[in-house]
Amino acid sequence: METLVSFFNLFISGFQTPTLGFLMGGMFIAAMGSRLTIPDQVYKFIVFVLLMKIGLKGGMEIRNANLAELLLPAIFAVLIGVIIVYLGKFALSRLPGIKPVDAIATAGLFGAVSASTFAAGMLHLDDVGMEYEAWVSALYPFMDIPALVLAIVLGRLATEKKQGSQEVAANKRKAVSIKFIIKDSLQGSALSALILGLLLGLLTKPEPVYEGFYNPLFRGFLSILMIIMGIEAWQRLSELRRVAHWYAVYAAIAPLAHGGIAFGLGAIAHYATGFSPGGVVLLSILAASSSDISGPPTLRAGLPTANPSAFIGSSTSIGTPISIAIGIPLFTELATLVF
Amino acid sequence: MKHKATLISVLTEKVFEQDILDVLEEEGAKGYSIFEGGGNGPLHQHQSQHLSMVDEFRIVKIEVIVLNYELANRIASRLVEECFPEQPGIVSLSEVEIFRAQKF
């Protein structure tokens, strides 16, 4: 009971933090029919700065870190990405009114990672004073890429089975290869920025520019990003209404279930190699989040028959708000209880 | 002085743009124009006016004019076969009259 009260208090105080409050604010003005727009370029720039900050911090810390510690969480990150896709495929394709390829694409997007949710999670841990390894950001591609690759491979198998291989063979121009999907994910805006930040942090000495520019901007930029995410979440709801309602149910349950699985695996890493509680929380948040920037175009290119309204609608309008509003405080509270 | 020519027009999503351009380049149609926009498809609404987090889902219209009708026809059939076996897209040919034929 006390735990419930404590979680409830945390949730209420969560509404007053810039992260969640601004997300709700964005949803509110969109619901009121506001014509406020924030230009795409601004949004892209903000995501770039946030990921550079996360990458730089991670890179600077990897310099002094024992890389063997990274190994187990990285293996778990891959494993989580794979489990999420199979779990989603299994759960969604059993529900009425859902095409197999749409189910797989949606599961793939939920297996992939959201930069904004991850940034919000890091800020929350900073606020509550929970320590974490900054190299956790390096786990991002380990979860993101396997989930997208697996989803596209499974999705292609599902459509080929349906159409017969002759027709698919006509698609000579872009025979989907694993190499191509990996290249496409790495070239996406989110991963490019993160990897650039990691490399610069690792190979150069960016401390002055990090302390003077990226770090101070982080909190303010994240608050603007949250408003944008809120507006987008509300606008995408209309798309979600066009597809089966089961997507909404999946999108509401999946982030917490995925985070729970990651929390369990993270706890194993905690006891085996001393992975920090904050690291376990961030691993859970990576798992709970669903990609909103680079995942959708990669899936669209790889699985053109999948309905984007299904996967973007469930991810952006329900999955992301749930993982930010409930996932982040829930897993943080769980970590203080368990460890 | 007016000349008859064929306008090839392709509507698709930005994410598939490069495939189309590859075919155009291979066929020697090197001068093309790309217009970005929005609209509504059977599955998905492509935003044009307001914020869209995923830029690649915007609609693009690629237009190229060729003098030779046979070439236009060949390009159109290659596009349909190679670029749109399952991807969303509209390929159309229309007769146009151009000036300055030496430009094409």
Interface contact B86-A159, CB threshold 8 A:
yes
Nearest by Cα to A93 from A141, A154, A142, A49: A154
- pLDDT-based confidence at residue A163 (cuts at 50, 70, 90): low
pTM of the model: 0.89
Identify the closest residue of chain A to B42 by CA–CA distance: A307
pLDDT reported for residue A199: 95
Q: Is B82 on the interface with A (CB under 8 A)?
A: yes
Q: Report the SS3 class of residue B78.
A: helix
* 8 A C-beta contact, residue A3 and residue A337: yes
Taking the C-alpha atoms of residue A167 and residue A179, their distance in angstroms, rounded to an integer, is 23
Tokens describing residue A45: 């720039």
Q: What distance lies between CA A157 and its chain's CA centroid?
A: 25
For residue B66, what are the β-bridge partners? B6
Indicate whether A174 pLDDT > 60: no
Distance from CA of A269 to the nearest CA of B (A): 35
Question: Chain A contact for B13, CB < 8 A?
Answer: yes
The whole-number pLDDT of residue B46 equals 66
In this model, does residue A167 exceed pLDDT 70? no
- The residues that bridge with B46 in the sheet, in sequence order, are B39
A177 exposed, middle or buried (CB, 10 Å; 0-12, 13-18, 19+)? exposed
Asked whether the beta carbons of A27 and A231 are under 8 A apart, the reply is: yes
Tokens at B19, concatenated: 């495939």
Closest approach of A91 to chain B, Cα-based (Å): 23
CB B59 within 8 A of CB B36: yes
CA A294, CA B56: separation in Å to the nearest integer? Answer: 10
Q: CA triplet A29, A32, A38: central angle to 5 degrees?
A: 35
**Nearest CA to CA, how far is B97 from chain A (Å)?**
32
Q: Is A232's CB within 8 Å of B54's CB?
A: no
Residues of B in contact with A235 (CB under 8 A): 47, 50
> What are the start-end ranges of the H helices in chain A?
2-16, 18-31, 40-64, 68-92, 100-111, 115-128, 140-163, 165-169, 178-187, 189-203, 207-209, 215-240, 246-273, 277-288, 295-302, 308-312, 320-322, 328-338
pLDDT category of residue A280 using cuts at 50, 70 and 90: very high
Out of B16, B55, B82, the one facing A172 most closely (by C-beta) is B82
Average pLDDT of the segment spanning A95-106:
93
pLDDT of residue B55 exceeding 50, the answer is: yes
Chain B residues within an 8 Å CB radius of A292: 53-54
Report which of A185, A159, A177 is spatially closest to residue A81, judged by C-alpha positions.
A185
pLDDT for residue A328: 94
Measured CA to CA, the distance from residue A302 to residue A191 in angstroms comes to 18
Taking only the tens place, the pLDDT of each residue in A33-85 is 998 888 878 888 999 999 999 999 999 988 888 888 899 999 999 999 999 99
Residue of A3 and A309 predicted with greater confidence: A309
Which residue does chain B place closest to A313, by CA atoms? Answer: B44
The mean pLDDT value for A11-31 works out to: 83
Q: Vertex A85, ends B51 and A136: CA angle to 5°? A: 75
Residues 6+ apart with CB under 8 A from A137: A54, A55, A57, A58, A118, A194, A198
Q: d(Cα A55, Cα A192) in Å, to the nearest integer?
A: 10
**Dist. CA A326–CA A255, nearest whole Å:** 9
What's the whole-number mean pLDDT along residues B33-59?
Answer: 72
Q: For position B45, what pLDDT does the model report?
A: 64
Rounded to the nearest angstrom, the minimum Cα separation between B23 and chain A is 9
User: In chain A, where are the structural domains located?
Assistant: 17-338
The answer to whether A39 faces chain B, any CB pair under 8 Å, is yes
Mean residue pLDDT across chain A: 89
Give every strand in the sheet of B3-13, ordered side by side: B33-37, B59-66, B3-13, B89-98
Going by C-alpha positions, the residue among A256, A168, A202, A194 that lies closest to residue A53 is: A194
- For residues A6 and B93, the model is more confident at B93
The per-residue pLDDT for A169 is: 45
Structural element, H or E, at residue B95: strand B89-98
- The complex scores an ipTM of 0.78
* Contacts with B69 (C-beta within 8 Å, 6 or more apart), sequence order: B6
Burial group, residue A39, by CB count within 10 angstroms (0-12, 13-18, 19+): exposed
Question: pLDDT at position A1, please?
Answer: 65
Residue A32, pLDDT above cutoff 70: yes
Domain count, chain B: 1
* Beta carbons of B56 and A171 less than 8 Å apart: no
CA dist A44 and B55 (Å) reads: 10
| pLDDT in the model for residue A173 | 56
Find the domain containing B61 and state its range.
Answer: 3-103
B72 vs B51, residue with greater confidence: B72
Q: Give the class (CATH, top level) of A17-338.
A: mainly alpha
pLDDT of residue A250: 96
Please tell me which of the candidates B51, B57, B83 has its beta carbon nearest to residue A173.
B83
Return the percentage of chain A with pLDDT > 90, whole number: 64
Mean pLDDT of A150-167: 78
Q: Residue B86 and residue A293: Cβ atoms within 8 Å?
A: no
- Provide DSSP, A15-80: HHSHHHHHHHHHHHHHHTT------HHHHHHHHHHHHHHHHHHHHHHHHHS-THHHHHHHHHHHHH
Contact with chain B for residue A171, Cβ under 8 A: yes
Amino acid (1-letter code) at residue A258: H
Which of A229, A258, A244 has its CA nearest to residue A309?
Answer: A244
- List A residues 242-271 in contact with B (Cβ-Cβ < 8 A): 242
> What pLDDT is recorded for position A159?
83
- Is residue A297 less than 8 Å (CB to CB) from chain B? yes
CATH number at residue B11: 3.30.70.120
Residue whose tokens read 């769980």: A334
Quick one: pLDDT band at residue A176, thresholds 50, 70, 90? low
Give the pLDDT confidence of B9-37 residue by residue, as tens digits.
Answer: 999 988 899 999 999 999 988 789 999 88
- pLDDT (0 to 100) of residue A170: 46
Chain A residues closer than 8 Å to B44 by CB:
239, 307-309, 312
Per residue in A254-276, pLDDT (tens digit) is 999 999 999 999 999 999 999 99
